[in-house]
């Protein structure tokens, strides 16, 4: 159902895009709009992952620099049937994470230091599994395409403001019609884009809960991340708000209800869905709690050590 809904929404966004192009320049305008979108998507397909990682100061880490995180990603990727993605660490106090990459073979998972400091191992596993679910579902590519098309619609609508529609297409827009298109078309595109984003978040929660095997742990992580996002600023995200939809929780603000302009579903709704999944899997509901331990409070894994001291001689790390 999620795939079908996404396909319908993408088709609607494309139809809106072509319609705006037609209103601005007739058949030639629609064709030009298609060419522009294709060029933008081609650029985004090959470069968006590097651009986003750079915007957030993400640094690639390996098993020597961050052994526990890399091993956990590898374990979960194997469970998900995915190639091992690259692992990035963002020096940011706000707990959060995102995935990027044009396909599973060229994917990356980025987590903040705040995520590793504030969540336990089961919760971190749930978050990483959620991001791997995005990769397996090809959501990173879907969201890149939708963001590009939505941006192109806004750009073409602005052209319409200057040209007032093609004189040879007899569309009769006039000044009022042109103003309505300039205002309403980008809003409609944004609504569709946000709806697609919310749909993909629910799907990633479901698959991520199954990959990690602990839906309640993912639900607990969502609560902690959402609460922290209210009080811990993410300066990089504030400077690049267009990337907010990529994170597991909106890094800009804590939306408490689903609405037309929210990039993420309400946390309460996501927890309810994860609770249903836990019971379907024969586990206690989310209210049953999550086992503590793992990534301990105050630990910092960029260097493979924690605040409590270096890893044990056994090399098993602070999880014991």
Encode pLDDT of 77-119 as tens digits: 999 999 999 999 999 999 999 999 989 999 999 999 999 999 9
- Residues noted as catalytic: 131
Residue 261, pLDDT score: 56
For 135, the token pair is 């990769």
Secondary structure class of 262 (helix, strand, coil) = coil
DSSP lists the bridge partners of residue 99 as 109
Secondary structure class of 92 (helix, strand, coil) = coil
Quick count: other Cβ atoms within 10 Å of Cβ 37?
22
Q: Distance between alpha carbon 306 and the CA centroid of its chain, in Å?
A: 28
For 259, the token pair is 């609405």
Quick count: other Cβ atoms within 10 Å of Cβ 138?
15
Residue 259, pLDDT score: 52
Backbone angles phi, psi at 181, to 5 degrees: -65, -45
Residue whose C-alpha is closest to residue 139's, from 112, 111, 103, 89: 103
Return the H-helix or E-strand segment holding 80.
helix 67-80
Residue 235, pLDDT score: 92
Quick count: other Cβ atoms within 10 Å of Cβ 82?
18
For 49, the token pair is 């992952």
Quick count: other Cβ atoms within 10 Å of Cβ 11?
10
Return the H-helix or E-strand segment holding 113.
helix 113-118
Q: Give the C-alpha separation, 27 to 214, whole Å.
A: 52
Q: Rounded to the nearest 10 degrees, what angle do helices 67-80 and 121-136 cross at?
A: 50
Buried b (16+ CB within 10 A) or exposed e, 166-197: beebebebeeeebeebbeebbebbbbbbbbbb
Residue 9, pLDDT score: 67
For 211, the token pair is 């990959």
Residue 73, pLDDT score: 98
145 near 10, Cβ under 8 Å?
yes
| CA-based max dimension of the chain | 78
First and final C-alpha spacing in the chain: 41
Secondary structure class of 219 (helix, strand, coil) = helix
pTM: 0.76
Low-confidence ranges of the chain (pLDDT < 50): 165-172, 254-257, 288-320
């Amino acid at each position: 159902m999620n795939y079908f809904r996404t396909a319908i929404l993408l088709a609607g966004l494309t139809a809106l895009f072509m319609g705006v192009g037609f209103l601005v320049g007739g058949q030639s305008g629609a064709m030009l709009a298609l060419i522009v979108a294709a060029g933008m998507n081609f650029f985004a397909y090959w470069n968006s992952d590097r651009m986003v990682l750079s915007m957030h100061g993400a640094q690639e880490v390996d098993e020597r620099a961050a052994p526990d995180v890399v091993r956990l990603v590898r374990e979960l990727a194997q469970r998900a049937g995915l190639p091992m993605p690259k692992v990035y660490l963002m020096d940011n106090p706000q707990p959060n994470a995102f995935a990027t990459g044009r396909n599973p073979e060229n994917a990356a998972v980025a987590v903040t230091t705040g995520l590793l400091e504030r969540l336990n191992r089961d919760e971190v596993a749930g978050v990483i599994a959620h991001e791997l679910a995005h990769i397996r579902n090809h959501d990173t590519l879907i969201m890149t395409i939708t963001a590009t098309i939505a941006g192109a619609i806004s750009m073409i609508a602005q052209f319409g403001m200057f040209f007032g529609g093609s004189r040879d297409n007899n569309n009769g827009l006039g000044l009022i019609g042109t103003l309505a298109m300039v205002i309403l078309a980008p809003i409609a595109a944004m609504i569709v884009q946000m709806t697609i984003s919310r749909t993909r978040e629910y799907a990633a929660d479901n698959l991520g809960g199954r990959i990690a095997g602990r839906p309640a742990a993912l639900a607990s992580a969502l609560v902690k991340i959402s609460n922290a996002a209210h009080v811990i600023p993410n300066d990089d995200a504030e400077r690049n708000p267009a990337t907010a939809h990529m994170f597991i929780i909106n890094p800009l603000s804590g939306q408490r209800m689903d609405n037309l302009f929210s990039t993420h579903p309400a946390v309460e709704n996501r927890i309810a869905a994860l609770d249903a999944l836990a019971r379907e899997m024969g586990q206690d509901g989310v209210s049953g709690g999550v086992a503590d331990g793992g990534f301990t409070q105050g630990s910092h894994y960029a260097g493979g050590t924690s605040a409590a001291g270096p890893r044990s001689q056994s090399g098993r790390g602070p999880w014991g």
